[in-house]
Amino acid sequence: MRHLLDTQHLSRAEALEILDVAEDMADTQRREVKKLPTLRGKTVVNLFFEDSTRTRISFEAAAKRLSADVINFSAKGSSVSKGESLQDTAQTLQAMGADAVVIRHGASGAPRTLATSGWITAGVVNAGDGTHEHPTQALLDAFTIRKRLFGDDSRGRDLDGIRVTIVGDVLHSRVARSNVWLLHSLGARVTLVAPPTLVPQDVRGWPVEIDYDLDHAIAAAPDALMMLRIQLERMNAAYFPTEREYSRRYGLDARRLADLPTDSIVLHPGPMNRGLEISAEAADSPRSTVLEQVTNGVSVRMAVLYLLLAGERSDTEKEDLR
């Protein structure tokens, strides 16, 4: 794998390889000494033009557990605020010897520009670009669903026939887009639930069903319910009457939680707006995978960095992981 820019162009086989390597990584993370020597001497740059807590820290933890050197760059307080372009910033990092660049950017397509421009030779990982995609989030979500549903039997398995319902601000969500493509490749059946104002116009071309009624969608007994954050920072208009009304119609509260089948799970990428799209009862219930998603995120990002930077290494080195 040279770059990870999206899940739309990731094949089922490539996705399963990442998920299975992530299983190996997760096994190593249960050892007393979590650090592996695999990426010693490699440099990973975290290039974050948008705010982030968990994604940046997760990539940093992943790179460090593989013994790579990590340089964290955030646009605030850097020359970007003096107007330096993406090209100049990227070329500066390249000149410092970056082997991989993990980029989060407000503009959809920025990671692809970086990967295809010829400005740098490093591998590029998209950590969220505008409202376009957030591939490692979708991979960690799929990993979490697979692990919860199949336990120790997860390796090699896809999500054939699993029903996943994604609820909320689909319009502004790169998490939803990456999940739709990945879940579809893995064989899952995806339903989107949102008010009509938060459903994107191009949704007709997506491999999904649409439902405007959350209670109806819950009655259809999904295996996994993924709640999305209402992205107030991306809203420049009134997409719903009031937060209270949104919460009443599209929030996951205790009653709706009780209406879900007993073994179905609840995901949220974080950060959560407690009381808006998800109630405290739902967020803290045993069905909620929110913290498992965070833990699994480190293993999945270790797998991605490993496949990007050590993919050509020998089988004996791969054996070291086991």
Query: Could you list the residues that contact ligand NCD (CB under 6 A)?
Result: 54-55, 128, 134, 137, 174-175, 229, 231, 269-270
Decide: 175 and 236 in contact? Cβ < 8 Å. Answer: no
Annotated binding residue 168? no
- From the CB of 212, what's the least distance to ligand NCD, in Å? 21
Task: Determine the Cα–Cα distance for residues 319 and 313; give it in Å rounded to an integer.
Answer: 11
> Would you say 55 or 289 has its CB closer to ligand NCD?
55
Residue least distant from ligand NCD (Cβ)? 229
Q: Which residues of 106-116 are buried (b: 16+ CB within 10 A; e: fewer)?
A: eeeebbbbbbe
Decide: 130 and 5 in contact? Cβ < 8 Å. Answer: no
- From the CB of 17, what's the least distance to ligand NCD, in Å? 22
Task: Determine the Cα–Cα distance for residues 249 and 204; give it in Å rounded to an integer.
Answer: 23
Annotated binding residue 54? yes
CB-neighbour burial class of residue 241 (10 A; exposed 0-12, middle 13-18, buried 19+): exposed
DSSP count for the chain of H helices, then E strands: 12, 9
Annotated binding residue 55? yes
> Would you say 200 or 270 has its CB closer to ligand NCD?
270
> Would you say 146 or 174 has its CB closer to ligand NCD?
174
Annotated binding residue 136? no
- From the CB of 112, what's the least distance to ligand NCD, in Å? 17
Decide: 237 and 231 in contact? Cβ < 8 Å. Answer: no
Annotated binding residue 135? no
Decide: 167 and 212 in contact? Cβ < 8 Å. Answer: no
> Would you say 168 or 222 has its CB closer to ligand NCD?
168
Alpha-carbon torsion (149, 35, 5, 134), positive or negative: positive
> Would you say 137 or 185 has its CB closer to ligand NCD?
137
- From the CB of 144, what's the least distance to ligand NCD, in Å? 13
- From the CB of 319, what's the least distance to ligand NCD, in Å? 33
Per the annotation, binding residues are: 54-55, 82, 104, 134, 137, 174, 229, 270-271
Per the annotation, binding residues for carbamoyl phosphate are: 54-55, 104, 134, 137, 270-271
